[in-house]
Structure 1
């Protein structure tokens, strides 16, 4: 009996409160390693993959931008050649500046497009790692893209035409260009519009997608032409001989010879009711054409009038006085 009492006093009976606390502590101790393992796996998993995605995206962006810079630099240093393969003397400061400007514009467009594409891919991959469901987002983006495509077809067409125009070097700032209805000097080239100022001073805004044909007078070479209308009763061989001599004298002039890309030529281009149209023409660059035309006209007119040959102007015969003896 005494032993039973001693056991009762020394061994307390478990209470409901003490039992529940002990169970919670035990459960926490048993579950804590698993929770810690889950947290470690998450930290090593998603954040590490996000860092890897960011690093790969940055490296890829840097490498591609370097390639674009190398490509545009090659365009800026590209030499000009004639269609026939002969090197033309157009590598002046203006042409170099134009090529550099075109290369910079094209490089800027490519870098912007690359940044948008790579950035979009990186953001979508990060959202996927976080656990965001991309299916509704992609579906919404697809619907919005289709609606935008239908609503902004002309805008997309203008941008694509501008990119191809810059890549093909159809024209640049400072070029004299003929677009059919508008002829003038290009003042600004953008991806959507081209600004052209005509000879009257009017500034035209042309959408790149609406430009169907382009005649560039500044690329390569142009022809400097001087026309002379001579009646039928004048000896043809004499006229050709005089104009050929005038062309040779013009080519022999040191100031004019450096502006010529090919020797002047003489030929008949038109037969009318009362005269023959003789022409002296030579290849030159667009900025030098006025000087070459003036030289050809002056020497040709001097040669014909010095021989007493009559010239036809506006369907009238202009009789030149004979030279003084």
Structure 2
């Protein structure tokens, strides 16, 4: 039986494999095509398998880091939170908030890692198939540069949203002040933050346009209530307010909504209507509005019960200009606004 012709000199890509296949099978066409029929597919398969393994390991590391950081103050918190005494102890719900933020960041990091691995695999596979990657990479670089200039606002919004989420500047349900709008956060995206203001208007704000954020729902809040007491006895009025504040502090219904008991600081300012006394109380951020309303109500009722509110209203004098054309009203009085007291 005649032996098959030996492989041609073109079998140069994998001479050892080519010779081994030819000696094993005696088929020159299989030996000459072994590089593309066997070696190339095996290399591509190995690239894909290694990429899948790398993706699995990277995702596993990200998941473990996210889970461990969700219960600590070491990673997903501002640097100041790691300084002893720099911030007060966490209030209820902080752990849940930290866990939700960590999971969101983990999802983003896993998506980014998958995209990077996929891009690298595609380039390696194209290189194995003999595609010249130099023009492709050059074209991709030029296209990326053009897109970067044209979509720089989009990139800025994306990066701003990523860092806002990473630093926990605000979250869904927080009441924030972003300068132009004050409202409740309804959705936080990597490009758009959605706020609903007190009138019910829904605002869509690009993250890149948010230069400063005032979060009224993080940590604790200080409720400040200024009460005018007129020209009454300041010590007596302060004692009445202090008794009402102490009653609120000892009320079991409101005890969980106060970090520190209310305190009457004293005279805050002097106005034409008399003195203004200030009362403060430190509360969890989510309880500040209801505590403020209850404190105002109790302070008002205490002044009314002590008769101080009646003395305040009785001692007020309002000056009004007389109506023009009335008998006895001169032109000078009408111009200068002189008139009787009511």
TM-score range, shorter chain: 0.7 to 0.9
Q: Deviations over 1:39-81 (max 9, x none)?
A: 4455564333222221211111111111222233345445797
CA separation of 1:301 and 1:138: change in aligned 2, threshold 3 A: same
Q: Return 161-170 or 35-44, whichever deviates more.
A: 35-44
Query: In 1, are the aligned partners of 2:223 and 2:281 still within 8 Å (CA)?
Result: yes
Please report how far the alpha carbon of residue 85 of structure 1 lies from its aligned counterpart in structure 2 after TM superposition: 4.6
Instruction: Name the structure 1 match of 2:213.
Output: 214
Higher helix proportion (structure 1 or 2): 1
Instruction: Name the structure 1 match of 2:132.
Output: 133
Structure 2 residue 41 is matched with structure 1 residue 64 = no
CA separation of 1:167 and 1:29: change in aligned 2, threshold 3 A: closer
What secondary structure does 1:195 align onto?
strand
Aligned length: 288
What secondary structure does 1:219 align onto?
coil
Q: Deviations over 1:231-267 (max 9, x none)?
A: 2x32332222222222222111111111101121212
What secondary structure does 1:280 align onto?
strand
* Partner Cα distance (2:134, 2:91) in 1: 59
Query: In 1, are the aligned partners of 2:224 and 2:280 still within 8 Å (CA)?
Result: yes
Structure 2 residue 288 is matched with structure 1 residue 294 = no
Q: Return 192-201 or 65-74, whichever deviates more.
A: 65-74
What secondary structure does 2:195 align onto?
strand
Structure 2 residue 210 is matched with structure 1 residue 240 = no
Please report how far the alpha carbon of residue 279 of structure 1 lies from its aligned counterpart in structure 2 after TM superposition: 1.8
TM-score by length of 1: 0.79
Query: In 2, are the aligned partners of 1:229 and 1:311 still within 8 Å (CA)?
Result: no
Structure number with higher relative contact order (C-alpha < 8 Å, ≥ 6 residues apart):
1
Instruction: Name the structure 2 match of 1:184.
Output: 183
Instruction: Name the structure 1 match of 2:42.
Output: 48
Tell me, which stretches of 5 or more residues in structure 2 are unaligned?
Answer: 9-21, 316-342
Structure 2 residue 313 is matched with structure 1 residue 318 = yes
Given candidates 253, 260, 263, the residue that maps to 1:262 is 260
Instruction: Name the structure 2 match of 1:123.
Output: 122
Query: In 1, are the aligned partners of 2:88 and 2:219 still within 8 Å (CA)?
Result: no
* Partner Cα distance (1:185, 1:85) in 2: 24
* Partner Cα distance (1:180, 1:85) in 2: 24
CA separation of 1:30 and 1:308: change in aligned 2, threshold 3 A: closer
Q: Deviations over 1:206-251 (max 9, x none)?
A: 00101111111111111223321022x3233222222222222211
Instruction: Name the structure 2 match of 1:21.
Output: none
Tell me, which stretches of 5 or more residues in structure 1 are unaligned?
Answer: 1-24, 321-325
Q: Return 152-161 or 107-116, whichever deviates more.
A: 107-116
Query: In 2, are the aligned partners of 1:180 and 1:214 still within 8 Å (CA)?
Result: yes
What secondary structure does 1:177 align onto?
strand
Query: In 2, are the aligned partners of 1:228 and 1:311 still within 8 Å (CA)?
Result: no
Q: Deviations over 1:135-159 (max 9, x none)?
A: 0100110110010001000011111
Structure 2 residue 30 is matched with structure 1 residue 28 = no
CA separation of 1:66 and 1:166: change in aligned 2, threshold 3 A: same
* Partner Cα distance (1:311, 1:169) in 2: 49
Instruction: Name the structure 2 match of 1:90.
Output: 92
Please report how far the alpha carbon of residue 30 of structure 1 lies from its aligned counterpart in structure 2 after TM superposition: 7.5
What secondary structure does 1:318 align onto?
helix
* Partner Cα distance (1:30, 1:122) in 2: 33
TM-score by length of 2: 0.75
Q: Which protein shows a greater Rg?
A: 1
